Chains A and B, each alone.
Chain A
Amino acid sequence: MTSYGMVIDLERCIGCQACSTACMEENNVSLDHIWNRVLTEGGDNIDTPAGKYPEDGGDGTGTMSMEYLPMACQHCDNAPCVKVCPVNATYTREDGIVEIDYDVCIGCRYCIAACPYNARAFNYDKPVHVPAEGTGNVPERPQGVVEKCTFCTHRVEEELDPACVIACPADARIFGDLDDPNSTVSKYVDKYETEQLLEELEADPKTYYVRGQMSPGRQRPTTELEGTRRKKTSIPEGGEQ
């Protein structure tokens, strides 16, 4: 069995929002939403620290701290959103990815209530794109349905890494098969101190965050999915150049 998951190394993340931007462009996300957010754990605003400046130069009283927390769908094993969807529009694929069938979703938003990560977005309005015809390689979602991060299933099916993984200049994102003990994600989860967000809620996310000690990150310079053959281009079949 395959169980795709992601390791995000918070020690490597530099808060540049490249993953967020790449996601919006690749997935044709309406400008009302952001599937993949990079949060600032610190002050009240983005890119601001919590704490105080030192009182007197280097007297050691400064408490400033700031960390980044990239947030998107955690693709839980025990996904509350899948369990609440009354019409099976949200489901877990064979490969472990939690996906929405936009032709089935009735827009009841029970999944939004169920998700403790607030990873889901509802199209209250018609999607807004610049340029108007949209971007990327995924059709836009209609008004009245819920949407979210798909781990770029359309890319994974073409044996390519998700867009956010490719875009990360700090190699902080590693994507792969958690069921394969030889995959980089499995090895990192094994070796480094990793955390699942809101672990106590027992949704069992397939997104693991490395804290404390920096991992070597994702070191491959290419775009293909780990363990698949080298690709000539990063644009999936049928995608627009």
Chain B
Amino acid sequence: MSDETPQRTIRGVGTMGKAWLAILAILFVVGFGAWVYQLMEGLIVTGMNNVFAWALYIMLFVFFVGLSAGGLIISSVPKFFHSDRYDSIAALGVLVSFACIVVAGLLVVPDIGRPERLYEFFTSPDFRSPMVWDFGIVIVYGAFTAGYLWLLTRRDLAAMGSRLAFGVKDTEAGRERDRRISFWFAAAAIPLAVALHSITGWIFALQIGRGDWFSPLVAPMFIMKALVSGLGLVIVTAILADRYTTFELPREQVPELGKVLGVFVAVHIVYLVGAERLPGAWAENFGFWDITTGFLVGETVYFWLWTVVGGVLPLALLVIPSIRKRVWAVFAASVFAIAGILFEGVNLIFVGYTDLYIDAAPGVTTGRGYVAMGSDIWATVGAYTPTVVELLISIGLIALGALIVTLGLWYLPVQSGEVLAPPASDTPDSDATVANGGADSDAD
């Protein structure tokens, strides 16, 4: 962070920045404390039971695996086609991907009944288990994003004299070489991302035991969910970073990113969800309008949250070019799209665990709640409400993700490294950058 080289890390961490960091650190520490408490008491302090056996941690695991897609895709796909489009957010995107996959991986740990035995994934794995596949791919993906992030920033780190360059020198030949290497990283990133999201989908889609989970469409759906929520998160992060730090997001890229997000949302909510629902609705109903109603009208509140909040609202904001030009509209559409995908993940777990195949009275023993003779330990439907402990642990891990992104913004040259070797399309000046929809940009 020397002053003689052009600054690619963000400048001027003010009081607000420090306060933000402190809040995140406190949330993380509180979450860690809650996890220690859960370790001592066992999973009895969660809201889970034998019927509803996976809950908030797994819902968020699925969500964060999806979120990790966006940054890697937005930085690797253009590179793969030898384009420098979106170079300005490439490093930031990969940083967000890395943070999300770290959060996703860690969210599994509190879900495990005996985490001290996790080493058995290495000592006695069963390669039939989709969980083993997912364990492998999450680790590979996490290591890959970390390596890719370093590749994208190491010459700039060297130019800054940062120790994080690990001896790499900032030379023109070296930068050219890194550009070639990053093509191969980009080529590897795409199948890796497809594998990560498909395998995470197959954890559910291979199970005959949980109602509608068993569906070949789940893996493609997971890929689209990842593209929608992941791109949404990159947009949100870039706009916030532009608003509150010296990070600069070229203004003209916002509607472009919005357009891509709109296409993803349309493919996901309009096409794939439709394709998933039509066969059932057609087979179950007889009249034309019955089929149409069965197709369009969902049964659960989550369905509406996910299709309206995650589909209709973002599409409405992104479809019209004059609205799409406004930063607030793209920002809001991204937030809605992310929220929709979160509801969809919640819905997935509820779909699996609410109804039992064999629900004759008195049902299944819940595995908790025995106090004395006559205690009701039975359930014929799954029900779940998260406990404070679950919420604190989850918030703590999400805060850790935000910490990684914030510290990355501070210490890594996430601002486009093209400043040293300016290409044709130079990074625009601050007056051309996103200015939160017209208001003045006050970077602190």
Check if B113 sits within 8 Å of A31, measured CB to CB.
no
Q: B293 an interface residue at 8 Å Cβ cutoff?
A: no
Specify the chain B residue showing the minimal Cβ separation from A118: B364
Nearest A residue to B375 via CB reads A31
Residues on A with beta carbons closer than 8 Å to the beta carbon of B210: 113-114, 116
Asked whether, in the complex, the Cβ of A145 is within 8 Å of the Cβ of B367, the reply is: no
A105 partner residues in chain B, CB cutoff 8 A: 113-114, 117
A197 on interface, CB distance cutoff 8 Å: yes
For window 348-392 of chain B, which residues contact chain A by CB distance below 8 Å? Answer: 352-353, 356-358, 360-370, 375, 377
Q: Smallest CB–CB gap between B61 and chain A, Å? A: 12
* A138 on the B face (CB < 8 A): no
By a CB distance below 8 angstroms, the chain A residues around B424 are none
Note all chain B residues with C-beta closer than 8 A to A80: 207-209
B interface, how many residues as a size bin? Answer: 35 or more
A180 at the binding interface (Cβ < 8 Å):
no
The reply to whether A116 and B209 form a contact with Cβ atoms under 8 Å apart is yes
B residues 275-307 near A (Cβ < 8 Å) are: none
CA of A42 to CA of B361, assembled, Å: 8
| Residues A203 and B130 in contact in the complex (CB < 8 Å), given A69-B360, A112-B53, A144-B113 | no
Cα–Cα, bound, A45→B126 (Å) = 40
Flag A107-126 by CB within 8 Å of B: 1 or 0 each: 11110111111101111111
Bound Cα distance A89, B120 (Å)? 10
Q: Which residues of B are found within 8 Å of A84, using beta-carbon distances?
A: 128-131, 206-207
> A105-B114, A116-B208 known; A124 and B48 CB under 8 Å?
yes
In whole angstroms, what is the CA distance A84 to B54 when docked?
15
Q: Chain B: which residue is nearest A106 at the CB level?
A: B117
Which among B115, B125, B370 is the interface contact of A86 at CB below 8 angstroms?
B125
A145 touches B113 (CB 8 A): yes
Q: Assess whether A201 is interfacial by the CB under 8 Å rule.
A: yes
Shortest Cβ distance from A127 into B: residue: B370
Q: CB distance B114 to A144 under 8 Å?
A: yes
Query: Which of B46, B48, B362, B368 gathers most chain A CB within 10 Å?
Result: B362
User: Complex Cα distance A42/B362, Å?
Assistant: 11
Pick the contact of B362: A33, A45, A114, A124 (CB < 8 A).
A45
Q: How far is the CB of B405 from chain A (nearest CB, A)?
A: 29
Asked if A123 and B113 sit within 8 Å, CB to CB, the answer is yes
Report Cα–Cα, A145/B118, bound state, in Å: 13
> Could you mark each residue 328-366 of chain B with 1 if its beta carbon is under 8 Å from any beta carbon of chain A, else 0?
000000000000000000000000110011101111111
Closest approach, in angstroms, between the C-beta of B123 and any C-beta of chain A? Answer: 8
Residues of A within 8 Å of B144, CB to CB, are: none
Complex CA gap A42/B364 in Å reads 16
Do B367 and A114 touch (CB < 8 A)? no
Residues from chain A with Cβ under 8 Å of B353 in the complex: 113
Q: Among the interface residues B46, B125, B135, B370, which one has the most CB atoms of the partner chain A within 10 A?
A: B370
A113-B363 Cα distance, complex, nearest whole Å? 16
For window 47-74 of chain A, which residues contact chain B by CB distance below 8 Å?
Answer: 48, 69, 71
Interface size on A, residues (CB 8 A): 56
- Chain A CB within 10 Å, residue with most, of B49, B120, B135, B364: B364
B208 adjacent to A202 (CB under 8 Å):
yes
A87 contacts chain B at the CB level, 8 A cutoff: yes
Do A108 and B125 touch (CB < 8 A)? no
In the complex, B132 has a CB within 8 A of chain A: yes
Tell me the B6-21 residues at the A interface (CB within 8 Å): none
Q: B42 interface residue, CB < 8 Å from A?
A: yes
Of B44, B360, B367, which contacts A40 at CB under 8 A? B360
Q: Is A41 an interface residue (CB 8 A)?
A: yes
A46 at the interface (CB under 8 A from B): yes
Q: Are B208 and A39 in contact (CB under 8 A)?
A: no
When distances are taken between beta carbons in the complex, the residues of chain A under 8 Å from B44 are 124-125
Q: Is A34 an interface residue (CB 8 A)?
A: yes
1/0 per position for B203-239, CB-CB distance to A under 8 A? Answer: 1001111100000000000000000000000000000
Given contacts A32-B365, A85-B129, A116-B209, contact A109 B113 (CB under 8 A): yes
Inter-chain contact B209/A114, CB cutoff 8 Å:
yes
Contact B50 A120 (CB under 8 A): yes
Cα of A107 to Cα of B57 in the assembled complex, Å:
14
The CA-CA distance from A218 to B369 in the complex, in Å, is 36
Complex CA distance for A104 and B207, rounded to whole angstroms: 22
Cβ proximity bits B83-112 to A, threshold 8 Å, 1 near / 0 not:
000000000000000000000000000011
**A16 interface residue per 8 A CB criterion:** no
A44 at the interface (CB under 8 A from B): yes
Contact of A87 among B124, B360, B368 (CB under 8 A): B124
Q: With a CB–CB cut-off of 8 A, which chain A residues contact B361?
A: 39-40, 42-46, 48
Q: How far is the CB of B37 from chain A (nearest CB, A)?
A: 14
Enumerate B116-159 residues with CB–CB distance to A below 8 Å.
117-118, 120-121, 124-126, 128-132, 135
Q: Which residue of B lies closest to A81 (CB)?
A: B209
CB of A69, distance to nearest CB on chain B (Å): 6
Task: Contacts A71-B358, A123-B113, A124-B43 given; indicate if A203 touches B208 (C-beta within 8 A).
Answer: yes
Contact across chains for A113 and B120 when beta carbons are under 8 A apart = no
B125 & A87 in contact (Cβ 8 Å cutoff): yes
Q: B356 to chain A: closest CB distance in Å? A: 6
- Does B257 touch A at the CB level, under 8 Å? no
Q: A86-B125, A143-B42 are in contact. List 4 more A-B contacts (CB 8 A).
A: A32-B369, A42-B360, A113-B352, A115-B209
26 A-B pairs within 8 Å (CB atoms) are namely A31-B377, A32-B365, A32-B369, A34-B365, A39-B361, A40-B361, A40-B362, A43-B361, A46-B361, A80-B208, A84-B206, A87-B120, A87-B124, A88-B124, A104-B124, A107-B112, A107-B117, A109-B111, A110-B203, A115-B209, A118-B357, A125-B367, A126-B42, A144-B113, A202-B208, A203-B208
Rank and list the top 5 A-B pairs by shortest CB-CB distance, nearest first: A107-B113, A144-B113, A39-B360, A116-B209, A87-B120
